[in-house]
Amino acid sequence: MNIHDSEKIAGILESMGYAPCDKSEEADVVVFNTCCIRETAEQKIYGHIGALKKLKRANPDLIAVVCGCMSQQDGVAEKIRASYPFVDIVLGTSNLNLLGDAILSAQKKKKYFNVDFTRYREEDFVQSRTSYPNAWVNINFGCNNFCTYCIVPYVRGRERSRPLDDVMTEVRQLLADGYREITLLGQNVNSYGHDLDGGVTFATLLHAIGGLSGKFRLRFMTNHPKDLSRDVIDAIAAHPNICHNIHLPVQSGSTEILRRMNRRYTRDGYFALIDMIRASLPDVGISTDIMVGFPGETEEDFCDTLDLVRRVKFSSAFCFVYSRRKGTPAYSMEDQVPPTVKKDRITRLLACQNAVTKEISQTMIGKNYEVLVEGANFRYKNTMCGRTDGGRLVNFKCDESQIGNFVTVNIERASSATLWGVITEEK
């Protein structure tokens, strides 16, 4: 989502005549598109903002911008105004469309600080796409779920869906422009449409896009286990261009911790969902997000998470250490887990998931997979990478002219998460 927001920022700047540059010393405008989901990201960004002071001294015309969800947090805009006087513009998550006006103001040396929740339309942006052959498409914004650890509902506001026709117009245009993979984005894509007229659901949208002609792939994220319904799985099964790849954040394998997180599903409910998905889509790749060290998490709760990871066999998992976010209910919960325990648990969780990924990778060796050539792997010469339908990243030799093509790759070897193969067929 942040990458896509950055594309919108780039689009506005490019429409004003700015162009990207490699070094901040050469820049006329520096934009920090921030994230405040975890404290470490926030600390890093303050370090980067501080470093602007020197650049601004060397180039007083430099325009410094802070936007993204950190600037939307209570008190942050005031803190930046007081402690970082060289910042010219602060914008929030819902008024990014004002960036053009803000830049014009800053060009006249007038600061522009505005973190009001106003709603923009995607159509307000000239987007600068940077991820060909992949394209991101927002379908809903904000979140109503209020998981007790999470800052997102406070900084991205209430959930709102884009009208179906607007999404379809954007998707059709992207396909006409030659994009080969569309990823639909939302904090909870499964609740798409609940605020729209006409009974539109996420499944309606999947059927509408899945029914478009041409060779392309459709992915989406993120799914919330409490809302992922059979009609969505049926829609995936009905259309060959919808990837068998579901990102389904579990967060914890302990029902008690899930209750305290306000996730509104249980460990058994999650297993039942996985069974339902795999019954319809046997080759599906399921990935997840997991958090360790949530307040009150005991060794037993954590072992339930390890056990769930071994049983579900996720193709990959983003694993996080719980980070205390001011303003969320979990911030003031008792029994915060000590850092040493958190560190021990994340190490064990990563080892556990690595072993699972390795096991799955071994079963893929010798088999053929359709892969979209997505881009260069710059660490190796003449090496491109792309993903299987199930979402696994594969490296293979070929040149850049193949980017955007579908190829068949035979998997030859695997180093845990990374697969290596050879092209056996070009399409």
Cα-based distances in Å from 123 to 38, 119, 149, 155, 167: 30, 12, 33, 22, 10
* Interface with ligand SF4, residue 206, by CB under 6 A: no
Is the Cβ of residue 323 or residue 388 nearer to ligand SAH in the bound state?
Answer: 323
> Would you put residue 313 in left (φ > 0), alpha (ψ -120 to 50) or beta?
left
329 binds, among ligand SAH, ligand SF4, none (CB under 5 to 8 A by kind): none
Residues 115-154 that bind ligand SF4 (CB under 6 A): 143, 145-147, 150, 152-153
Residues 55/47, Cβ–Cβ less than 8 Å: no
153 binds, among ligand SF4, ligand SAH, none (CB under 5 to 8 A by kind): ligand SF4
Is the Cβ of residue 62 or residue 291 nearer to ligand SAH in the bound state?
Answer: 291
Is the Cβ of residue 93 or residue 405 nearer to ligand SAH in the bound state?
Answer: 93
Among positions 94, 323, 357, 395, the unique one binding ligand SAH when judged by CB under 6 A: 323
Chain centroid to CA 126: 21
Beta-bridge partners for 32? 66
Tell me how many degrees the CA angle 82-84-85 measures, rounded to the nearest 5. 75
* Interface with ligand SF4, residue 330, by CB under 6 A: no
**How far apart, in whole angstroms, are the C-alpha atoms of residue 52 and residue 11?**
23
Chain centroid to CA 288: 12
Residues 57/92, Cβ–Cβ less than 8 Å: no
Among positions 244, 325, 342, 345, the unique one binding ligand SAH when judged by CB under 6 A: 325
Is the Cβ of residue 6 or residue 145 nearer to ligand SF4 in the bound state?
Answer: 145
91 binds, among ligand SAH, ligand SF4, none (CB under 5 to 8 A by kind): none
Residues 225-264 that bind ligand SAH (CB under 6 A): 249, 251
* Interface with ligand SF4, residue 419, by CB under 6 A: no
225 binds, among ligand SF4, ligand SAH, none (CB under 5 to 8 A by kind): none
> 6: which residues sit within 8 A by CB, 6+ positions away?
33, 130
**How far apart, in whole angstroms, are the C-alpha atoms of residue 318 and residue 232?**
23
Nearest to 267 by CA among 256, 253, 281, 277: 253
Among positions 8, 180, 219, 224, the unique one binding ligand SF4 when judged by CB under 6 A: 224
**How far apart, in whole angstroms, are the C-alpha atoms of residue 246 and residue 251?**
15
* Interface with ligand SF4, residue 190, by CB under 6 A: no
Residues near ligand SF4, by CB under 6 A: 143, 145-147, 150, 152-153, 187-188, 224
Residues near ligand SAH, by CB under 6 A: 37-38, 149-150, 152, 187-188, 222, 224, 249, 251, 289, 291, 320, 322-323, 325
